[in-house]
Structure 1
Amino acid sequence: MIRVNNLCKTVVTGEQQLDILRGISFEIKAGESVAIVGASGAGKSTLLGLLAGLDNASSGDIFLHEQNISKMNEDERAAVRARYVGFVFQSFQLLPGMTALENVMLPLELTGHRSPAAAAQTYLDKVGLSDRGGHYPRVLSGGEQQRVALARAFAVNPNILFADEPTGNLDEHTGQRIVDLLFELNSQSQTTLVLVTHEASLAARCERVLTIHDGQLHEHSSVESAAL
């Protein structure tokens, strides 16, 4: 499902070179749930963005469904994302000029779904927002906005779901509800789940935990990670 070979990401600022990721290699099988953890600034979100084809690596290869997205241009990567990938951002990334229903409909319309409104409503129902479809993001709570983002990500039935700190802007109660929804929808759809988190309890719910330290990758079981 996901295969990474000797991945590196380097950023040059002025005369200084910063090696964010160095020689990272791993595989994630279809249907697995994997957490990426590490200290702030370790490169977790950078790695997630590379895996999703939202950014370019300095070197190395990333394969999604045996397609090397590292060798693709932006249009080609966008086509792969549209076909295989869902993404949940910490900051929700909802379009303010669209209602909740319209935000969920958008990726369905872009992929040519025959009944985008009906499908979008189905997923709003699944996340408990049946009566909020006509509301704009500005009048929704943080938890409601994140549930809209989840509905949008799952509406296209992605093979892979990437989530970047999905509970980072939420209170504990709302965050727990979002986590439960995330794993419930993941289980129902058999979607591969890859998430970045700083929360040990969330990482512990995943089957595998990848830790980034000094730009390199280390792997623990979720039980080991929860004890760190």
Structure 2
Amino acid sequence: MIRVNNLCKTVVTGGQELDILKGINFKIKAGESVAIVGASGAGKSTLLGLLAGLDDASSGDIILHEENLSLMNEDERAALRAKHVGFVFQSFQLLAGMTALENVMLPLELAGHRSPASTAKKFLDKVGLADRAGHYPRVLSGGEQQRVALARAFAVEPNILFADEPTGNLDEQTGQRIIDLLFELNKQSKTTLVLVTHELGLARRCERTLLMHDGLLTETPSDSDSSL
């Protein structure tokens, strides 16, 4: 489902080159759940953005759903994401001028879904927000906004779901509810799940844990807390 070969990412800051990713190699099988952990600034979110085709690598290959992202332009990567990828952000990324229902409908409409409204309603119901469908993000709590974001991500029935610190802006109790919901929806959909997290409980729920350190990625036991 995902294959990464000698992936590198270098940026220029203060007139000097900074190597964020240094020749990373790994594979993720279809249906797996994988946590990427490591210290702040280690490059976890950079890697996730590259895997989702939201940014360009400096070198190396990312094979996503049998397509090589490095050989695709921005429009082609966007089309691939629309068809196969869901993304959940720490900051929710809901559109303020749209209701919860409209936010969930948007990617469905972009993908040319036949019945975006009914599908969006179904997934809002799955996350327990059927009665909040007509509300705008500004009147929803952080937990409710993240549940809308989960509904939006899963509504397109992606083959792969990327989540970047999905509980980072939530209190512990609300975060735990979001974690439970994330894995419940993931199990129902049989979606490949790749997430970045500092949360020990969230990483332990995944089948594998990959540790990002000094631009490199290594496998670590999922029950280890040394990297969080």
**What is the aligned partner in structure 1 of residue 215 from structure 2?**
215
Q: Is the partner of 1:206 in helix, strand or coil?
A: coil
Quick one: which amino acid aligns to residue 15 of structure 1? G
Deviation of 1:176 after TM superposition, in Å, equals 0.3
Comparing 214-223 with 170-179, greater Cα deviation is found at 214-223
Residue by residue over 1:109-145, the C-alpha shift from the partner in whole angstroms, topping out at 9 and shown as x without a partner, is 1111111100000000000001000000000000000
Quick one: which amino acid aligns to residue 114 of structure 1? R
What is the TM-score when the length of structure 1 is the normalising length? 0.98
**What is the aligned partner in structure 2 of residue 204 from structure 1?**
204
Question: Take 1:93 and 1:227, find their aligned partners in 2: how far apart are those partners?
Answer: 31
Residue by residue over 1:51-78, the C-alpha shift from the partner in whole angstroms, topping out at 9 and shown as x without a partner, is 0000000000000111001111100000
Question: Take 1:113 and 1:196, find their aligned partners in 2: how far apart are those partners?
Answer: 29
Residue 79 of structure 1 pairs with residue 79 of structure 2:
yes
**What is the aligned partner in structure 1 of residue 225 from structure 2?**
226
Question: Take 1:69 and 1:7, find their aligned partners in 2: how far apart are those partners?
Answer: 12
Question: Take 1:15 and 1:117, find their aligned partners in 2: how far apart are those partners?
Answer: 49
Question: Take 1:78 and 1:207, find their aligned partners in 2: how far apart are those partners?
Answer: 28
**What is the aligned partner in structure 1 of residue 190 from structure 2?**
190
Residue 94 of structure 1 pairs with residue 82 of structure 2:
no
Q: Identity across aligned pairs (percent)?
A: 82
Unaligned runs of 5+ in 2: none
Q: Is the partner of 1:226 in helix, strand or coil?
A: coil
**What is the aligned partner in structure 2 of residue 15 from structure 1?**
15
Deviation of 1:227 after TM superposition, in Å, equals 5.6
**What is the aligned partner in structure 1 of residue 31 from structure 2?**
31
Quick one: which amino acid aligns to residue 63 of structure 1? I
How many residues of Structure 1 are paired with residues of Structure 2 in the alignment?
227
Unaligned runs of 5+ in 1: none
Quick one: which amino acid aligns to residue 79 of structure 1? A
Quick one: which amino acid aligns to residue 225 of structure 2? A
Quick one: which amino acid aligns to residue 117 of structure 2? A
- 1:46-65 equivalences in 2 (<5 Å): 46-65=46-65
Paired residues of 1:203 and 1:226 also in contact (CA < 8 A): no
Which structure 1 residue ranges, 4+ long, deviate > 2 Å from structure 2? 225-228
What is the TM-score when the length of structure 2 is the normalising length? 0.98
Quick one: which amino acid aligns to residue 197 of structure 1? T
Question: Take 2:226 and 2:201, find their aligned partners in 1: how far apart are those partners?
Answer: 10
Residue 155 of structure 1 pairs with residue 181 of structure 2:
no
Q: Is the partner of 1:35 in helix, strand or coil?
A: strand
Deviation of 1:13 after TM superposition, in Å, equals 1.9
Question: Aligned-residue CA RMSD in angstroms?
Answer: 0.8
Quick one: which amino acid aligns to residue 130 of structure 2? S
Paired residues of 1:34 and 1:194 also in contact (CA < 8 A): yes
